[in-house]
Amino acid sequence: MIAGLYRRYAPELVRYIRKFTEDQAAAEDIVQETFVRGMEHGSQLEVLEESQRRAWLYRTAKNICIDRARRVQAEPPWEGETFQNDDLTKPMVMQLCGILEPQDRAMFWLRYFEDYTAAELGEMFGIPAATVRSRMLNARRRLQKYYPEIKR
């Protein structure tokens, strides 16, 4: 049953959630989590009519999206370490990172300057490691527009 629901509704749910997240990878993760919850509540979904199942999926996806947004808002603001005037690389990178979303900026810094792995960051931020890798790829691409020397 869940596989059929996934085939029918996953693409439209991703488009729906993308409006809120403005991030394709995040929208896909939320939809994936929605269907995982659907598997956990399979017995409840079986007794619902098709339109009710669809509504349940949309409501669950939106709630997951809201929960994630609340978690991001609850995070303390970034307070990076202070740097000496002769260290130009870190301040430049910090300034460039200002174009990134706060959560992506924090992950970028932890990944590339504090040497955390994608798995460790995934645990910290409550997202799959694959999402961390995807977000870091997108962050590098955004930064590369302003600083072409950044490696992909």
For residue 4, what are its two tokens? 């059929």
CA 6 to chain centre: 20
Q: What pLDDT does residue 91 have?
A: 65
The answer to whether position 120 is within a domain reads yes
Average pLDDT, the chain: 81
Domain-embedded: residue 28: yes
> Is residue 94 domain-shared with residue 48, that is, in the same domain?
no
118, 129 Cβ separation under 8 angstroms: yes
Give the contacts of 34 (CB within 8 A, at least 6 positions apart). 13, 57, 60, 61, 64
Domain range for 51: 2-74
Would you tell me how many other CB atoms lie within 10 Å of the CB of residue 137?
A: 12
Query: Beta-carbon neighbour count of residue 1 at 10 Å?
Result: 11
Can you tell me the mean pLDDT for 20-29? 87
Return the top range by mean pLDDT from 25-39, 79-93, 107-121.
25-39
Q: What CATH number is associated with residue 131?
A: 1.10.10.10
**Residue 10's pLDDT is what?**
93
* Predicted pLDDT at 57: 94
**Can you tell me the distance from the alpha carbon of 117 to that of 125, in angstroms, rounded to the nearest whole number?**
12
Q: Which residues of 93-129 are buried (b: 16+ CB within 10 A; e: fewer)?
A: bbebbeebbebbbbbbbbbeeeebebeebbeebebbe
The reply to whether 67 and 96 lie within a common domain is no
Identify whether 152 is part of a domain.
no
pTM (2 d.p.): 0.51
**What is the rounded CA–CA span in Å between residue 58 and residue 51?**
11
| pLDDT value of position 2 | 83
Question: Is 151 a member of any domain?
Answer: no
Q: Is 70 exceeded by the pLDDT of residue 52?
A: yes
Q: Is 100 among the domain residues?
A: yes
- The reply to whether 70 and 93 lie within a common domain is no
**Count of domains in the chain?**
2
